[in-house]
Structure 1
Amino acid sequence: MRAPATRLAYIDGWRVLAIMLVFLDHLGANREIGAFYEASPIGFISQYGETGVFIFFFISGYVVSRACLAEVESSGAFSAPAFYARRFFRIVPPLMLYLAFCLALGAAGYIDFSLENVLSAAFYLCDTTAPGVSCNWYVGHTWSLAFEEQFYCLFPVALAYLEFGKAPRPIIAAAVLLFAAAPFVFTVWWIGKTGFVIAYALFFAGYAAAKHGERVVAAAQGFRVPALIVAMLIVFLPRGVVAAFGQDEAARAELIAYYRLLYIVAIPAMVLLSGATSLFRSILSDRALSHLGRASYSIYLWQQLCNGPVFNGLDAVSQLALLAAVVLLCLLLFPLELKLVGYGHALSKRFQASPGAASAGGVPPMAAAVLE
């Protein structure tokens, strides 16, 4: 029987590394830091913001699937309402706080921000070019949250089918598939259709890793370190190396787009093998790093504001100090965030305990809360 899902500290360490990749990318918008990137041989470190988000996608799929699979195995059941209660109180309140603050700044004339921006982000549509969608810099980063929410709508239906063989009602299947397919239909140019494929492949790679990862890692016991190094080289190969094989700008962009498909295998391998390698696991499981990783969701939201156009003219030291202040603010707010998460888990238990609780694909509700 699968052991109850427990928190993996090294995964939180990966969250910190992923958010750092986003920081390094977005800091390039600062005039002074951007000039440093262009003049420095290490300027390529700013190329991995999207890579950091892809790492988050795999982690999300892995953590959610791992917890749900443990609960399904222990209780033989799965409740969609309980799942959504946990996800809602983990994701929505921090986002609403950020959007409300930006709206207040916009109303005061400090930043360019409107109600249309709020609605586009709140309905998780910033990974699309659907009619009426308006996503400027301050909500542009919610494209990643949009992919996650679209996946979370699809996941209970997929899990009920994969684990219990329960086909969803046609109307439910159609609704979740339409929402999940929105970024493929209304494609954002810099995400592209390959980005859509990578995102969903990584989410479901997280499910596969949660279900079979231990066996795969055990089978790789004799060559874990070499495999980890190869995976890291694939993920962090500078894009300039890939682009060098293209004859013109269009060809270079296409090469990079298709090269990213290797992330579907390399990112899961990199994350899982790092957890099975004592040195990497020890470093990534550092207590302070793990705590910072737990607060990374809010940090990801608020870093966008301090890296926005209003502050792009700051000197590098002031920009970094502002970013550090934002991280500190998020850490101070994190205990409140945990209380909301706890409320979501309590509500989840009520759904699970309800005899008539609705469930995905007709599967009975599960008996225990999910630790995420």
Structure 2
Amino acid sequence: MSYGGGGCGWFAGHTWSLAYEEQFYLVFPLLFITLRLAARPIILLIIILLMVLTALGLRFAGGDWPAGYLSHMIFMLTGCAAALYWGHLRPWCSRVSFAHWLAALTLLVLCVGLLPAPLEAYVKTVLYPPLIGLVVLGTPVVQPGVRAFFQNPLILYLGKISYTVYLWQQLATAPLPALSPGGLCSF
């Protein structure tokens, strides 16, 4: 399923996600200011839940594109909410055992790898944001081994360059004939 990159050609096909990010970072700060969400976490939670329900309803009604679009916004908003309310989440995350973390990671990997695409689309909207949050936030807080892994200089370096790698991935993985001077301009 394409969320906008299908007609962009090989070299710009991945930029749809950059466009989603730009839209998110233009719209949601205005909502945070207007609705004073920094001081009202319950309102933000309600907004996220309404977005999830709307995305599920859209998907059920056959609106795969708008449901996918909204799902991507849910991912970003959930991440922002976790960062904004980290003080509230930290005590809860500090109680996450390694077994729970491993169970969340296993469930996430199984869902991504084994579910048929139509079912996975529903699961992605509902389960992926909290599972990813649990895996990313819960473990480094309480597991010294995992924290040490994420603080490893090589892992930190890969994190720093990952956005650059994302931006240049299409050029680096292009089919060789497309790398001709005419191929670079043909998209």
Tell me the TM-score normalised to structure 2 length: 0.68
Q: Which residue of 1 aligns with 2:151?
A: 285
Q: CA deviation at 1:155?
A: 2.5
**Residue 221, structure 1, aligned to residue 94, structure 2:** yes
Amino acid at match of 2:152: D
Q: Show the 5 A alignment for 1:91-170.
A: 127-128=3-4, 134-163=7-36
Conserved? CA contact 1:198–1:263, under 8 Å: no
Q: Which residue of 1 aligns with 2:42?
A: none
Q: Distance in 2 between matches of 1:235 and 1:311?
A: 37
> In structure 2, the residue corresponding to 1:308 is in which secondary structure?
coil
Q: Distance in 1 between matches of 2:103 and 2:132?
A: 11
Number of equivalenced pairs? 152
Q: Structure 1 residues 260 and 147, CA, compared in 2 at 3 Å: closer, same or farther?
A: same
Q: Structure 1 residues 281 and 153, CA, compared in 2 at 3 Å: closer, same or farther?
A: same
Cα deviations across residues 255-298 of structure 1 (Å, max 9, x unaligned)?
Answer: 12112121121111111113212211110111232123112211
Q: Which residue of 1 aligns with 2:119?
A: 255
Cα deviations across residues 39-75 of structure 1 (Å, max 9, x unaligned)?
Answer: xxxxxxxxxxxxxxxxxxxxxxxxxxxxxxxxxxxxx
Q: Which residue of 1 aligns with 2:176?
A: 310
Q: Show the 5 A alignment for 1:268-347.
A: 268-276=133-141, 277-310=143-176
Q: Structure 1 residues 269 and 304, CA, compared in 2 at 3 Å: closer, same or farther?
A: same
Query: RMSD in angstroms over aligned alpha carbons?
Result: 3.0
Conserved? CA contact 1:235–1:266, under 8 Å: yes
Cα deviations across residues 181-217 of structure 1 (Å, max 9, x unaligned)?
Answer: xxxxxxxxxx733322221111111222112234323
Q: Which has the higher helix share?
A: 2
> In structure 2, the residue corresponding to 1:272 is in which secondary structure?
helix
Q: Distance in 2 between matches of 1:274 and 1:258?
A: 26
| Higher Rg | 1
Q: CA deviation at 1:140?
A: 0.7
Gap regions ≥5 residues in structure 1: 1-125, 166-190, 244-252, 313-372
Q: Structure 1 residues 220 and 299, CA, compared in 2 at 3 Å: closer, same or farther?
A: closer
Q: Distance in 2 between matches of 1:193 and 1:164?
A: 25
Q: Distance in 1 between matches of 2:15 and 2:123?
A: 24
Q: Distance in 2 between matches of 1:239 and 1:311?
A: 33
Q: Which residue of 2 aligns with 1:193?
A: 66
Conserved? CA contact 1:232–1:270, under 8 Å: yes
Q: Distance in 2 between matches of 1:228 and 1:302?
A: 32
Q: CA deviation at 1:300?
A: 0.9
Counting aligned pairs with the same residue, the percent is: 31
Q: Which residue of 2 aligns with 1:174?
A: none
Q: Structure 1 residues 218 and 160, CA, compared in 2 at 3 Å: closer, same or farther?
A: same
Q: Distance in 1 between matches of 2:120 and 2:92?
A: 31
Q: Which residue of 2 aligns with 1:266?
A: 131
Amino acid at match of 1:295: I
Q: Show the 5 A alignment for 1:47-58.
A: none
Conserved? CA contact 1:127–1:147, under 8 Å: no
> In structure 2, the residue corresponding to 1:264 is in which secondary structure?
helix
Q: Distance in 1 between matches of 2:77 and 2:149?
A: 27
Q: Structure 1 residues 286 and 139, CA, compared in 2 at 3 Å: closer, same or farther?
A: same
Q: Distance in 1 between matches of 2:114 and 2:120?
A: 10
Q: Structure 1 residues 225 and 161, CA, compared in 2 at 3 Å: closer, same or farther?
A: farther
Q: CA deviation at 1:238?
A: 5.5
Q: Structure 1 residues 304 and 204, CA, compared in 2 at 3 Å: closer, same or farther?
A: same
Q: Distance in 2 between matches of 1:193 and 1:127?
A: 9
Cα deviations across residues 311-347 of structure 1 (Å, max 9, x unaligned)?
Answer: 79xxxxxxxxxxxxxxxxxxxxxxxxxxxxxxxxxxx
Q: CA deviation at 1:150?
A: 0.7
